[in-house]
Amino acid sequence: MTKRQTTFYCFSPAVMLATFLIEFALAIYVFVRYPITRFGKAAGFALILLGTFQFAEYRICTTDGIIPVFWARLGFVVITLLPAVGLYLVSQLSHKLHFLKLAYLTAAGFIVYFVFVPKSITGAICGGNYVIFNAANDFYYLYGIYYWGFLLLGVWEGMERIANLKRAGKPRRVMRWLVIGYVSFMAPMGAAYLLFPVTRIAVASIMCGFAITLALILALKVVPEYNRVHRRFA
């Protein structure tokens, strides 16, 4: 790997641990700083999921034997919930379900697969800059359809809602920041996937590394804006 690539994909174990601490700190901040609403709980839960995946990656890179397999499975379980949680946040703002039940059912199916099927994930390799998970190619294809499909659906529904809220002021800003959060990690990963083929073996790891921007936007912009708009419901 070239020096340039090493610099760009700087997701070393130390960075994984730091990202975990930041995301958990942001989750605590959201739960403590703002009144607890369904939206706030879901946003805090998303931050916990992101942080847990980072900690799982850190453990994969710092343990041996069969322990990395456990953390690999746990990591995939937590990130499998993220598209459904994101769609739930969109639904809370738009007051529409947006295939939310389908997202829940699909996520539950993949989670059962990871937990109970021995060959679902057979191991993980710490590559220094990211983690490579060992799973069947057919799995990655189906999982990619689920993951990117529901993420893109969330962006689409968010953009549609923004268009319908041109004169709504603050509610429109909440949705706009949520869409920005989506795009902040999807766009870099999409560009890396197209421009750097080496990243295609570590999509989950690199995407969740970029997702630190989503975590910051959720905690510092989306939830505060939502709280200001819906304070009377807190």
| Domain ranges within the chain, ordered by starting residue | 9-228
In the prediction, which pLDDT does 194 show?
A: 78
Task: Please report the pLDDT score of residue 200 as a whole number.
Answer: 67
pLDDT above 50 for 11: yes
Contacts for 84 with CB less than 8 Å, ≥ 6 apart: 100, 103, 104, 106, 107, 150
Residue 116 has pLDDT above 70, yes or no: yes
Q: Where are the beta strands (DSSP E) in 4-146?
A: 123-126, 131-134
- CB 215 within 8 Å of CB 26: yes
Q: Is the pLDDT of residue 234 over 60?
A: no
Residue 182 has pLDDT above 70, yes or no: yes
| pLDDT above 50 for 233 | no
Q: Which residues of 4-14 are buried (b: 16+ CB within 10 A; e: fewer)?
A: eeeebbebbbe
State the Cα torsion 24-25-30-32 to the nearest 10°. Answer: 120
Give the pLDDT confidence score for residue 40 in this predicted structure: 92
The pLDDT tens digits for 42-83 are 999 999 999 999 999 999 999 888 888 999 999 999 999 999
Write the CB contacts of 71 (distance below 8 Å, at least 6 apart in sequence): 56, 57, 59, 60, 63, 124
b/e code 125-144 from CB counts within 10 Å (16+ = b) = bbbebbbbbebeeebbeebe
Q: Is 100 exposed, middle or buried (0-12, 13-18, 19+ CB in 10 A)?
A: middle
More reliable by pLDDT, 231 or 64: 64
Q: What is the mean pLDDT of residues 89-99?
A: 87
Any idea which fold 9-228 has?
Answer: Rhopdopsin 7-helix transmembrane proteins (1.20.1070)
Contact by Cβ (8 Å): 92, 42: yes
Maximum alpha-carbon separation in the chain? 58
Higher pLDDT, 35 or 121: 121
Residue 168 — very low, low, confident or very high, per pLDDT cuts 50/70/90?
low
The 10s digit of each residue's pLDDT in 138-157 is 777 888 899 999 999 999 99
Per-residue model confidence (pLDDT) at position 9:
44
203 pLDDT above the threshold of 60: yes
Q: State how far the Cα of 133 lies from the Cα of 3, in Å rounded to an integer.
A: 23
- Using the predicted structure, report yes or no on whether residue 163 has a pLDDT greater than 70: yes
30 vs 22: CA distance, rounded Å: 12
Burial class for 17, CB neighbours closer than 10 Å (0-12, 13-18, 19+): middle
Q: Specify the pLDDT at position 166.
A: 63
> What is the pLDDT averaged over residues 200-215?
82
Q: For a pLDDT cut of 70, what percent of the chain falls above it?
A: 88
In the chain, the DSSP E strands lie at: 123-126, 131-134
Does residue 227 carry a pLDDT above 60? yes
* pLDDT greater at residue 128 or residue 111: 111
Cα within 13 Å of Cα(189), Cβ side: 24
What average pLDDT is seen over the chain? 85
